[in-house]
Amino acid sequence: MEASAPFPYLEAVVGFMLFMYMLETYLDIRQHGALKLSNLPAPLKGIVSQEKFEKAQAYSLDKSRFHFVHAAVNIVEESAILLLGLLPWAWDKSGSLVGKLGFDEKSEILQTLSFLAVTTLWSQILELPFSLYSTFVIEARHGFNKQTIWLFLRDMIMGLALMMVVGPPIVSAIIYIVQNGGPYLALYLWAFMLLLSLVLMALYPVLIAPLFNTFTPLPEGQLRAKIEKLASSLDFPLKKLFVIDGSTRSSHSNAYMYGFYNSKRIVLYDTLISQCKNEEEVVAVIAHELGHWKLSHTMYSFLAMQVLTLLQFGGYTLVRNSSGLFLSFGFSTQPVLIGLILFQHTIMPFHHLVSFALNLLSRAFEFQADAFARSLGYREPLRAGLIKLQEENLSAMNTDPWYSAYHHSHPPLVERLQALDETSKKTD
């Protein structure tokens, strides 16, 4: 009986990558066309100035043109890496490097760490020109970049140093678990990643984030008093309220919360405080963020990610010993890390579907958080704050609905304002 031909994993993966590139390029073209529209959306006329609209249009078009080039280079690089067998080549060279350094080149952990070091440096070098152009040409041209080349390089080096410290023990633990997990491998991997995520969530704001930014307690005053009063009225366990020096790198603005159970922190970017017209607008933005907490959006998202992670590890256990999968990509052995990488390549369709579904869920959560802030009496300051942030960040005023639905986790400003108005009419 003639043996059936092995499944062409490599060809299928590259084919899907090219298909997604063409689909996403089509969406990018639609969005580029929307960005070239000369008129403001009707709901923003008389609200956003023509000057701000033209600046936002120029900024968005600059980023769009840059993205076309970046995406084209990326698909060529990624396809070449797979089709030319550069992954197995890098894996073999990593083993040789371990031997030349006087270590046991048969050690999978050492070879894996060497492989990661080589490929990480490789990817950093390939991406560096694009990062430099984005930061020091596009962002600088439109007045957003505030960092020097030395601060940029410092952040990059600091990030690589952190990876060198944190990466090896994590990778070593994953390899050990896979090699010794037995029939409950998926559960062990999921439990390890859950524990790791909780530890990193606790340590990042305390040990890692301060390496890149300065966190200063929000000074006593009306803004602090209003935020604390709002948090108290919602039984939000606010322990600390910080201002972060985001302006040292960019004039883009943001705010976020973090912390476990009864020890929550709120962080405001200094740019958010300076951009909003008054304190009520800042408090309204915080009310929106507290809405995510009060409505358990963060918990729902966390639980969804845990289910997806467990499903992915379950799928990995089914194919981790598939010689056909490894051979298709040019590997004669079956290393743990390589198996995980190849598995992620093969389930790209699943990743894209999940990402799209999570975007839709996130957009629904944003509408709900807006409605929550409105129910607290912040409809007008939230409207004003959203408009002000849209203007100051030069965010796109015109968006293609298909592009936005696929890419954006937040609804366009026009839709958020319309939803706030509709909610107001229903309750008034």
Active site residues: 289, 370
The answer to whether the annotation marks 252 as part of a ligand binding site is: no
Task: Give dist(CA 53, CA 43) in Å, integer.
Answer: 13
Torsional sign, CA 321, 323, 326, 331? positive
The answer to whether the annotation marks 366 as part of a ligand binding site is: yes
SS3 readout for 336-405? HHHHHHHHHHHCHHHHHHHHHHHHHHHHHHHHHHHHHHHHHHHHHHHHHHHHHHHHHCCCCCCCCHHHHH
Torsional sign, CA 140, 141, 142, 143? positive
Contact assessment for residue 163 and residue 124, using Cβ atoms and an 8 Å cutoff: no
β 263-269/238-244 pair status:
parallel
Short-list 396, 388, 416, CA closest to 48? 388
DSSP states of 97-129 as a string? HHHHTTS-TT-HHHHHHHHHHHHHHHHHHHHHH
Short-list 294, 299, 301, 300, CA closest to 375? 294
Torsional sign, CA 8, 9, 10, 16? positive
Please state, in angstroms and as integers, the Cα–Cα distance from residue 170 to each residue in 5, 166, 176, 302, 337, following that order.
37, 7, 10, 21, 12
Contact assessment for residue 366 and residue 411, using Cβ atoms and an 8 Å cutoff: yes
Residues 6 or more apart from 406 whose CB is under 8 A from it? 24, 27, 356, 359
238 has which bridge partners?
264
Short-list 83, 208, 30, 60, CA closest to 141? 60
Alpha-carbon dihedral of residues 129, 132, 138, 143, nearest 10 degrees? 180
217 has which bridge partners?
242
Task: Give dist(CA 179, CA 121) in Å, integer.
Answer: 27
Q: What is the DSSP letter of 38?
A: S
Tokens coding 12: 């299928």
What is the three-class DSSP state of 18? helix
Phi, psi (degrees; rounded to nearest 5) at 215? -105, 120
Tokens coding 195: 């524990």
Q: Which residues make up each annotated binding site?
A: 288, 292, 366
Q: Which residues make up each annotated binding site for Zn(2+)?
A: 288, 292, 366
